[in-house]
Amino acid sequence: MINIFVKYVMLLVLLIIGLDIEILNAQTSPNVSKWPRGVTYEIFVQSFADSDGDGIGDIKGMTSKLDYLEDLGVEGIWLMPMNPSPSYHKYDVSDYYDIHPDYGTLDDFKTFVNEAHKRNIKVVMDMVLNHSGSRHPWFVDALANENSPYRDYYVWAHKDDPQTQISGKIISGDSNNRTRWNKVEGSDYLYYSYFSRNMPDLNYDNPKLREEVFKIGKFWLSEVKVDGFRLDAARHIFPDDRPTDNHNWWVQFQSEMKKANKDVYLIGEVWASSDIVAPYLKGLPALFNFDMGSAITTAVNEEREGDLTTNHKEIIDYYTTVNPDYIDATFLTNHDQVRIMSAVNNTMDKAKMAAALLLTLPGSPYIYYGEEIGMQGKKPDPNIREPFLWQRKESDNYRASWIDPKYSTDQSVIPVEEQLEDENSIYNHYKTFIKLRNGSNALTYGDIEPVAMNNPALSAFKRSTEDESVLVIHNLSNQEINLNIPDFLKEFKNELYKSKDSNLGTNELHLPAYSTVVLGK
């Protein structure tokens, strides 16, 4: 009897303590961001966390690191391709319905999605639909047999067809492939590939192929419960001279996917200038803002604002006319680009400034794995996709080793375990800015109003919603700046964030080199 009573009291006490902790958390970090307007983290599975010591990152490894991502403030994960494929990067899929055995099983992935959802983290899968891999059974059959039922899943032309000569010469920003038409031994027909001969383009003029693609998408949404897709090479579904067909295809794809999940999230890779990107917003509500990534890098490197914020405002205003609900997916760099730390010549202050800009400007920021610990990397591609550093190598149980890293080694990057303890680390810099953003309606959802400061090294802007307005000032330069606060900014007097040693006086703002202040009213 006493025992039951004691247990009852203990339970009550635990409940009360639990409640208090909840309230305390709510007071210290009220999260107003709601994905997809939160921060998304891009993972190259092969390099992130290896659970079984075979040198290759895997799904179980990622699952055990979900707490790390939740703690960082991440609300969504974009996973680079995980389907079976002969290449290390897996952008040439040979089975759209399974997981590469190096990464685990379909059940492992279902567990991962479930565990992510428990932590309020959404999961977005890379979908490579422009082309299959050349080892996909469809293509293997189509190649071997001109009468194959899958022949028309791909694009063929007779060797005398003039187009096989002409379009082979065009190259663009996202492909340096010069041979678009590929010869087949013993055949008079060539097949089309935008990227490489191992990636034959799928034929979207074929309604049967389109049905196959809908089936694939619905499988992952319904069976595996992923929240959406990052759509690779979204502007190449139809040939480049048929942009309207491309735009319409994504409208149709979206409406089909909504049948499986009405809230499906679709983000497209349209690697082009904003005028080419904009029409895709009709079918793809989220698009990567490639322009902003390079604009931030340029501003940081040149230590001047230039037209960074006015340009961003122009892009937002323009896209909003096409789709008022569009998601502006901002990022510094992704898996196809020189890592931001290398792009700023390994200058820690500049990498931190790039992050501070990304996380205070409008948009839904994407962070490329390892950016938050200052990983370095330059082309070729495998070297911008090197293993994440959890601990010093000798004690790192999760470090992948499929590649010998050239840029991100124990000598050049401090593993995350040590950065957690250092309040000045780039990891804690990211975490602080993500938390600041997630807790602020103005920073998460607000519009942007550039503020002219008469100093080219200052990037200043207001971010405002109806209820909240904040003023952000970054000193991009290596010189300290003492700023006389103009009268119209004096209403911003609450310090929401300030870099070390910056100081807000009554009439003056002291900004050390590479510093940021965020002020509220």
Residues within the interface to Ca ion (CB under 5 A): 50, 52, 54, 56, 58
Q: Which is nearer to Ca ion, 22 or 52 (CB)?
A: 52
**Residue 52: Cβ-neighbour burial (10 angstroms; 0-12, 13-18, 19+):** exposed
CB nearer to Ca ion: give 68 or 189.
68
- Given a contact cutoff of 8 angstroms between Cβ atoms, the answer to whether 315 and 308 are in contact is no
CB of 420 to Ca ion, least distance (A): 24
Q: How far is the CB of 132 from Ca ion (least distance, A)?
A: 25
CA distance 145 to 139: 10
Nearer to Ca ion, 50 or 227 (CB): 50
Minimal distance, residue 217 CB to Ca ion, in Å = 27
Q: Which is nearer to Ca ion, 58 or 396 (CB)?
A: 58
Residue for token pair 């409940």: 15
Q: Which amino acid is at 182?
A: N
Number of separate helices (H) and strands (E) present in the chain: 17, 19
Residue closest to Ca ion (Cβ): 58
**Which own/partner contact pairs does 447-451 have at CB distance under 8 Å and 24+ positions apart?**
447/313, 447/316, 447/362, 448/309, 448/312, 448/313, 448/316, 448/361, 448/362, 449/313, 450/309, 450/310, 450/313, 451/489
Nearest residue to 238 (alpha-carbon basis) of 227, 230, 228, 250? 250
CA 381 to centroid of chain Cα atoms: 17
- Rounded CA-CA distance 272/16 in Å is 55
Distance CA 44, CA 375 (A): 13
Known catalytic residue at 70: no
Distance CA 306, CA 309 (A): 8
To the nearest whole angstrom, how small is the minimum distance from the Cβ of residue 53 to Ca ion?
7
Q: Is the four-CA dihedral 132, 138, 141, 144 of positive or negative sign?
A: negative
CB 389 within 8 A of CB 410: yes
Which CB atom, from 62 or from 129, has the smaller least distance to Ca ion?
62
Question: What is the helix, strand, coil percentage profile of the chain, to 5?
Answer: 40, 15, 45
Q: Are residues 513 and 475 in contact, defined by beta-carbon separation less than 8 angstroms?
A: yes
Cα–Cα distance measured from residue 35 to residue 38, given in angstroms and rounded to the nearest whole number: 5
Compute the least distance from the CB of residue 518 to Ca ion, in Å.
41
Q: Which is nearer to Ca ion, 217 or 405 (CB)?
A: 405
Quote the least distance from Cβ 335 to Ca ion, whole Å: 19
Residue 36 or 104: which CB sits closer to Ca ion? 104
Q: Which residue among 102, 232, 305, 371 is the active-site one? A: 232
Q: What is the rounded CA–CA span in Å between residue 198 and residue 171?
A: 17
CB atoms under 10 Å from CB of 105, counted, come to 14
Got the DSSP string for 268-318?
Answer: E---S-HHHHGGGGGT-SEEE-HHHHHHHHHHHHHTS-TTHHHHHHHHHHH
Mark whether 102 is an active-site residue. no
Nearest approach, Cβ of residue 92 and Ca ion (Å): 21
Give the shortest CB-14-to-Ca ion separation in angstroms.
38
Active-site residue, selected from the candidate residues 269, 328, 371, 372: 269
Q: Closest CB to Ca ion among 58 and 227?
A: 58
Catalytic residues: 232, 269
